[in-house]
């Protein structure tokens, strides 16, 4: 009886420890307009927010990859200019990433949508409504399906909805403009022929540089925003197993990266440096560590023990 009691106590301790573990959020921003968002995430509880300031002269680079990949969730703030987010760096980030700027996700930038413009629509106090067609996703826990108020105030919004897409479109406006969409790791973006190494999401709150804050979500939209952070954090541990080419690459133990058949692979360290690049048949010896591996036109995060 006593043994069963202690077994239950240990199990409850593990559950409680897991439930209250802090989610490590890296928040990339360019000015103080994003500060209220960072403060709100911190105040919500369960999150540790680390700001990463990127001004005009210091865009994200390969030197930032180890920092970006160490986060459970990376949030690209609304204030950051798309020029600070070069594709060759952003695509290598294996950590789940949430974009909040419609300018960065458009077709001629990140390529998450087909629209190549985000219109500035200045309307003080205007209410933007969102249509939720399926509230069964955990992102909508606490929010009912149907039409809800999404944000109030000044805004910029994507000029057109995505067309045929690889994303999971979750929230849009009544006039078919995207407000929330999600991509799995190793799934190509809508345009540009690029594939992100980690999960991606876009959530728009529309605020432009006309105000001093970017946290104009309504209460319901804030619930969804925090749920989204939780859902993206849950994807952080699943990046290393790909659903795209799982029969081509296996996670190797004993200091090896294992492939099926003959494959050309590129092994990149978490700081962005190419460790090895060659044609391999069977396996490649590799020091223990965490790597980004490119093989068969797909990108993986692998752990070599």
pLDDT digits (tens, 9 = 90+) for 236-293: 754 443 333 333 344 455 566 777 677 788 887 766 678 888 887 777 777 777 777 7
Whole-number pLDDT of residue 242:
38
pLDDT at 296: 64
pLDDT value at position 106?
Answer: 83
* CA-based end-to-end distance of the chain: 40
Q: What is the pLDDT of residues 113-123, one digit of tens each?
A: 877 877 766 66
More confident residue, 72 or 174: 72
pLDDT score, position 37: 93
* Cβ–Cβ under 8 Å, residues 106 and 117: yes
Tell me how far the alpha carbon of residue 147 is from its chain's centroid.
25
**128 with 171: CB under 8 angstroms?**
no
> What gap in Å lies between CA 261 and CA 302, rounded to an integer?
18
Pairing between β-strand 200-203 and β-strand 97-99 as defined by DSSP bridges: parallel
E strand spans, the chain: 23-29, 47-53, 73-76, 97-99, 118-121, 127-132, 146-152, 155-158, 168-172, 178-183, 200-203, 249-250, 256-269, 274-285, 289-295, 298-304
Mean pLDDT on 210-222? 81
| Residue 4, burial from CB neighbour count under 10 angstroms (0-12, 13-18, 19+) | exposed
Give the rounded distance of the alpha carbon of 153 from its chain centre.
26
> Is-contact 160 172, C-beta < 8 A?
no
Q: At what angle do helices 35-44 and 219-234 cross, to 10 degrees?
A: 70
Q: Enumerate the domain spans of the chain.
A: 2-238, 249-304
Considering the entire predicted model, what is its pTM? 0.73
- 190 closest CA partner among 165, 225, 171, 161: 165
Fold of the domain built from segment(s) 2-238: Rossmann fold (3.40.50)
């Amino acid at each position: 009886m006593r043994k069963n009691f202690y077994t239950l106590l240990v199990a409850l301790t593990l559950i409680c420890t897991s439930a209250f573990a802090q989610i490590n959020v890296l928040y990339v921003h360019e000015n103080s307009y994003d500060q209220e968002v960072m403060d709100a995430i911190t105040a919500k509880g369960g999150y540790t927010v680390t700001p990463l300031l990127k001004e005009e002269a210091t865009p994200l680079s390969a030197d930032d990859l180890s920092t970006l990949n160490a986060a459970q969730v990376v949030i690209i703030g609304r204030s950051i200019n798309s020029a600070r987010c070069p594709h060759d760096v952003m695509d290598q980030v294996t950590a789940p990433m949430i974009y909040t700027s419609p300018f960065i996700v458009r077709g001629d930038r990140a390529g998450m949508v087909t629209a190549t413009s985000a219109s500035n629509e200045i309307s003080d106090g205007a209410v933007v409504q969102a249509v939720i067609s399926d509230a069964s996703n955990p992102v909508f826990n606490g929010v009912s399906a149907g039409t809800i108020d999404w944000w109030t105030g000044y805004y910029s919004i994507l000029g057109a909805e995505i067309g045929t897409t690889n994303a999971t479109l979750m929230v849009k406006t009544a006039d078919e403009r995207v407000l929330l969409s999600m991509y799995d790791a190793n799934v190509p973006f809508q345009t540009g022929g690029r594939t992100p190494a980690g999960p991606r999401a876009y959530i728009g709150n529309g605020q432009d540089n006309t105000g001093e804050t970017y946290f104009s979500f309504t209460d319901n939209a804030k619930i969804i925003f925090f749920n989204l952070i939780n859902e993206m954090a849950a994807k952080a541990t699943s990046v290393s197993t790909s659903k795209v080419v799982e029969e081509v690459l296996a996670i190797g133990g004993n200091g090896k990266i294992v492939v099926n058949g003959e494959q050309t692979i590129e092994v990149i360290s978490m700081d962005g440096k190419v460790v090895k690049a060659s044609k391999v048949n069977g396996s490649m010896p590799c020091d223990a560590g965490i790597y980004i591996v490119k093989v068969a036109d797909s990108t993986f995060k692998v752990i070599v023990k």
